[in-house]
Structure 1
Amino acid sequence: MQTGKSGFSLIELLIAVVIVGILAAICYPSYQQYVLRSYRADAISQLLQLANAQEQHFADYGVYSADLVMLGAKVSERYQFKINLFAAQQEFELTAQVQGPQQADSECPLFTLNNLGQRNGQEPQTQSCWN
């Protein structure tokens, strides 16, 4: 009569834990980059919506607005949005600056969009961030 033990040995369990740990160490940084890129896409979308609202405001009133709330800006804990007006409110520049947890995105810390549709005019090396 053979007495067979069922279950896992300690060695088998440790090997499984090590394999899971290695997979997690490989996958987690990629996941973090994916999350940063997704919030980057949200910021770009928000800037484009604000620019559209600015153009609508200009069509209605003949000047651009400095009020983010009136233009429909959403509150973000990852980006700080600002409007800079120039030339007696006939020109604008929208900016989205990283803040909070998004500061880990050192590749694309700032997005700008002006009334001419120029993206990151001051920093042409970050044009790839818009893609």
Structure 2
Amino acid sequence: MPTPPNRGFTLIELMIAVAILAIIVSIALPSYRNYILKANRTAAKTALVELQARQDGYYVDRRRYAATLTALGYPANPTWISATGEPETEEMDRSIYRLELSEVTVKGYRLEAIPVGAQADDARCGTLSVIASGRKQASGSDGVDCWR
């Protein structure tokens, strides 16, 4: 009785499959990383807009701006946020931005979201900030488009 021929992959076929997989991963991974950075930016922008609304409410009630984030109901000054937007009292592995309130005067304030952890690689937008007048800025290389 004849033995059936071996059915399997040759080394060349296996190397071609590995090369194709490597090309696909090298294209997909940077796109995925950019998507994550952009999603995290959205969490920071949301937190800054919420803080701005809290500052405005504080001003309406007291005729002055809050000097600390704790006065606005946040757990610490500064406060860290995760990708879900949850405030934290200290920097954790999941923290993506540090929120700070500075330059508080009778006429204004400055809110900043400073990237930390893996988000610190975001050279495109860098630190996001809002001032009392509503002007929004970003310190990165593409700061003009970061708030759009």
* TM-score normalised by L of structure 2: 0.75
- Find the counterpart in structure 1 of residue 32 from structure 2: 31
Distance 2:17 2:139 in 1: 51
Matches within 5 A, 1:35-74: 35-73=36-74
Counterpart amino acid of residue 80 in structure 1: R
Distance 1:84 1:54 in 2: 12
Equivalent residue in structure 2 for 1:94, among 90, 93, 111:
111
**Using a 3 Å threshold, how does the CA distance of structure 1 residues 54 and 6 change in structure 2: closer, same or farther?**
same
Moved more, 59-68 or 15-24: 59-68
Higher relative contact order (CA 8 A, sep 6+): 1
C-alpha root-mean-square deviation of aligned residues, in Å? 2.4
Aligned length: 129
- Find the counterpart in structure 2 of residue 20 from structure 1: 21
- Structure 1 gap segments, 5+ residues each: none
CA deviation profile, 1:77-106 (whole Å, cap 9, x unmatched): 222211124433x41111112222212111
Larger helix proportion, structure 1 or 2?
1
- Structure 2 gap segments, 5+ residues each: 82-94
Counterpart amino acid of residue 104 in structure 1: D
- Find the counterpart in structure 1 of residue 120 from structure 2: 103
Identity percentage of aligned residues: 29
Structure 1 moving runs of 4+ over 3 Å:
85-88
Moved more, 12-21 or 65-74: 65-74
* TM-score normalised by L of structure 1: 0.83
Deviation at 1:2, TM superposition (A): 6.9
